[in-house]
Structure formats: structure tokens, C-alpha cells
Structure 1
Amino acid sequence: MLGKQWSSLLQLIQQVSAVISILINCFLIPLILKKSPKQLGAYKWLMIYISVFEILYSILDVIVAPEHFSHGPTFLVIVGTKDKLFGPDGLTVLNSIYWGCFGASMAIFDVHFVYRWLAVSENPLLQTFSGWTIWIWFSVPLWYGLTWVFTGYFLSASTESKSEFIRDSIKEIFQLEFDEYIYLGPYLYQRMEDGSLHVHLPSLLGLGIITITIVSSIIIVVVFGYLCYNRISRLVATTSASAKFQKLQKQLFYALVIQTLIPFVLMHMPGAIMVAFVFLNIDLGIYSAVLSMTIAIYPAIDPIPTLVIVENYRKTTLKMFGCYKRTMPSSIITITGESSKI
């Protein structure tokens, strides 16, 4: 019954996280529109873009209630069909869209960090985040997402050999009959009766696409995160400006660290580990659900640093709850109206 217990825990986490994500992001969007420093620039629209995406992602997560499952040379995103608003075909489409949202989230991190570097380095390309050209940047996650939708729906669709391979394991662990769930996922290879290995080329291609997008996203985040850190460090070391300016630059670095760790810990690393274990033929079983949980938690946690870091939002929030004090503790990270380059 361990699989059932994991499923119940996962559904609870998905539902609670969705409620928290929707509440916080719906609270944050008006703050961004009305209380953002004028110098915030295009970053305001990037934050709104991310908040809207996280709301939609949370809603989809509750509707689909996906469970990740790793079994030898395959990993699956399983969706139960009981008590669902949609039939198997509709759930398969929604499952592929869920894949697309994960892929799009990778690109959102990338755009975020590219923008942060362009801003802190005062690169002329920062102007591309103004006017109609900002939509080109906003379309990048869409293309990533469509690539993952294609990978899930076509390259990782259910097959007879794959269903036969995972049928008994899913029944044993989750107590689900074959007609009680749908799934998408790559099946890298199959061991034939004569001992030879038959490689499934569509799955290999799909897994290759998944690997490339995850690894490239990690590289972009790490590289541009380091470039931001390096730029901020040089500004602090060489500037002749006031101590207040130097303190602000350090605070921007702390904000960068926080905003790096959240997606890296909750999205990049679990996804990378899942893919690596498929290549290594290591069976994670029901513990693959950890990835489902971290994905569900991400939209609920990600907007919180923005509420804490941006001074205007923090002060407005504290005033609304009657907790605002004129003298703020020095331990709280502050970004003032001067911080146009965040």
C-alpha cells in the first residue's frame, strides 16, 4: 500500500500548493502593477508573465494530478482516470500539456537570468525587452513548451511493448488496473528473448530532447548567474559610489542566489536525476514521486522571495496586515526604488 500512501500525500501537496500559488500570485500581480518602482522597467512585465504562468501551471497540476514513475529504462508520467473531468484521450492531451509546462518553465528560468545579466551589465540588448520585441522573449518558453508537448504526445506515447513492461509494476505498487490510468514516457530499450537489446528510436530521440533542454537550461542559469555575480562583485570592488550603493549591489546578489536555488533544487536537479537514472537503468519506483512533489511545490514557493525582496511589495504587504514598522531589521533584504537593474 506504500504506493497508495504516496499518491494520497502527493495529491494533498498538489492541492495545497495550488491554493497557495494561486493566492500569492493573484495577490502579487496587483502589487506589481500598482506598487512597482518606476525604475523597475521591463522586469515588471517579466514578473507578471511568470506569475500568470505559475497560476495556470498550478491549476493544471490539480486537474491532471500527475505521478512520475521510474522503472528501469523508462520513466512515466501517470494520470489516473477515476473521478476525472476528462476521458482518457483528453487526459492524454492534458498530460502532454503538463509536459509542455515543465519544458516552458525551463525556458522561463533562462529568460529570467539572461535579462538579469543584460540589466546589471547595462548591455544594449536590454532594449529588446522594451516595446513589441519583448514578445519575442516571451515566446521562447512557448517554443520550449511546444517541443516538450511534441516529445510527450508523439515520441513518448503509450505502446504495446511499453504497456506490457510497466503493467505489473504499476498494478503492484499503485493498485491500478491498466484501464484505470493513462501515461506518457520514454521506453529507452527492450531486452528481447534472445538476450539482445532493441532500442526504441522515438523514445531515444525524446529522451535526447529532454536531456538537451534540461542540461542547456542548467548551463544558462549557471553561466548567466555567474556573470551576474562577477559583474556585481566588480561593481562593488571598483565603484567610488556611496556605501549605500555598494550595499544595494550585495543585496541584488543575495536576491540572485535565492532566485537561483529555488528552480535549481525543485526543478532542474530532480528532473536531471530522473533522466540520468533511466540511462543508468536504475529503478526509482514510487520514490520518483518526489519529482511530482517538487514540481507541485515550485509555483507556491517561487513568488515568495519577490514579496520579501522588493521593498515596495514588502512594505505594502506588511501595511495590509498591520505589521509595518518604519525601522526595518537590517537582516531583511531590501531593494529600493534605485534598483532598476534586477
Structure 2
Amino acid sequence: MCLQTPQANENIRKILLIDFDTNIDDVVFVGPYLYQKQDDGLLHIDTLSLTAIVVASLLNASSMIAIFYFGWKCYRKMGSLMNASRRLQNLQKQLFHALLVDSLIPIILMHLPVSFLLFSCLMEFDVGSIASTVTLSTALFPAIGALPPMFIIKNYRITVINYICCSKTRNQSMQVDN
């Protein structure tokens, strides 16, 4: 939907040369170029780019709504488990907190940066090299996504700490033996 056009190429050419010292022929890009200046000097809104921004925004918003909706349902369901044993209640709270943090990670690393970029396109605000942080934060998501349960759930946390401490002790004893 956001295909390269002569107007978009010309606009990106200037940005690439100034900000990145790169020729447009050396890169391939995909993205909305919403406000296109016509030959007569008037701005024209590209409907394909606008459609792409609206669809991406709806997908982003629906994902965030699903996260909050099912998080709220999970929280409400937790209330019905309060008549269970103290041990089960403690485990359920740990699992809920791990789920909460695990849900915040994609919101912070993916949804908010993408929402910012989409909003900046609509407002014709040039974010420059800040846009590359979206790529970095999206790449960090798989690596960070698995960490919350390891630090929030007590049994996992104890296992990780014991592994780190034992590895450290084992390495120190190996150095002494040599």
C-alpha cells in the first residue's frame, strides 16, 4: 500500500543525504508518504498511505485493547480464587504479576513506539533517526519477553539465583585448582 512514488523518492532522497549520507539508490524503503506536494504547489493526501496508516493503527489498537481486556478478566477471575489455600493464592498472585509485566513489555517496546510513528506520520512530524529506535525495541522484545517469569515467580527466581551462584562458585574453584 505504501509503494515508492517519485514524490516519496524525492522527499526521502533529501533526508537520506542530509541525515545518513546515503544515496537513495542504495536503499529500499517502505512507508507512508501521506502529504504529497503536487506540481501546482498544493498538498494532496495519498489515500493508499492514509489507508495503510488507519489499518496499522486499528491493528495496533485492537491488540492493545485485547491485552487490557483479557488482563482485566484475569484480574477479576483472581478474586474468585481467594477462598483457595494460602499457597495457591501466593502462586496465583505471582503468576498474575508475571503476566502483568509480560503484557507491559510489548506495550512499551512495540505498541507505544509504533503508535508514536503512526501519529507522527499523520501530523507530518519528521522524527528523523528516532524512527530507528522502533526497530531496536522490536528486536529486544523476544529477548526480554522471557525474563519476567524468571524473576517474579519464586521457584524460578531461586533456581536462577542458585544457578548463577553455583556457576560463580564452580568457576572460582576451577581457577584455584589450576
Give the TM-score normalised by structure 2.
0.82
Distance 2:152 2:117 in 1: 32
1:229 aligned to which of 63, 72, 75: 75
Retained in 1: the 8 A contact 2:95–2:153? Answer: no
**Among 270, 273, 286, which residue is 2:113 paired with?**
270
- Choose from 189, 193, 205 the match for 2:51: 205
Quote how far apart the aligned CAs of 1:214 are. 0.5
CA displacement at 1:234 relative to structure 2: 3.9
Task: Mark the CA change 1:251 to 1:320 in structure 2 (over 3 Å): closer, same or farther.
Answer: closer
Distance in 2 of aligned mates of 1:193 and 1:160: 12
State the distance in 1 between where 2:110 and 2:103 align.
11
Kindly indicate whether residue 128 of structure 2 is the aligned counterpart of residue 285 of structure 1: yes
SS of residue matched to 1:184: coil
Larger radius of gyration: 2
Q: Secondary structure at the match of 1:190?
A: strand
1:245-291 CA-to-partner distances (Å, cap 9, x unmatched) read 22222212211211111111001100111101111111211122221
Aligned partner of 2:62: which letter? Answer: S
Cα distance between partner residues in 2 of 1:322 and 1:229: 35
SS for the counterpart of 1:179 is helix
The answer for the alignment partner of 1:306 in structure 2 is: 149
**Structure-2 separation of matches of 1:252 and 1:312:** 11
CA–CA distance in structure 2, aligned partners of residues 162 and 275 of structure 1: 17
User: Alignment identity in percent?
Assistant: 34
Looking at structure 2, the residues matched to 280 and 179 of structure 1 have their Cα atoms a distance apart, in angstroms, of: 28
> How many angstroms apart in 1 are the aligned matches of 2:153 and 2:35?
49
SS at match of 2:95: helix
Residue 3 of structure 2, aligned match among 144, 153, 157: 157
Secondary structure of 1:198 counterpart: strand
Q: Which runs of 5+ in 2 are unaligned?
A: 168-178
Select 1:175's aligned residue among 14, 18, 21. 21
Aligned partner letter, 1:292: T
1:192 is displaced (CA, Å) by 2.2
Match of 1:184 among 11, 27, 30: 30
Alpha-carbon separation, structure 2, partners of 1:320 and 1:256 = 24
Listed as ranges, the gaps of 5+ residues in structure 1 are 1-154, 325-342
Residue deviations 1:211-239 (CA, integer Å, cap 9, x gap)? 11111101111111111112113432xx2
Structure scoring higher RCO (CA < 8 A, sep ≥ 6) equals: 1
| Residue in structure 2 matched with residue 35 of structure 1 by the alignment | none
Question: Cα RMSD between the aligned structures?
Answer: 2.2
Q: Distance in 1 between matches of 2:92 and 2:81?
A: 8
In the alignment, the residues of structure 1 paired with residue 166 and residue 112 of structure 2 have an alpha-carbon distance, to the nearest angstrom, of: 37
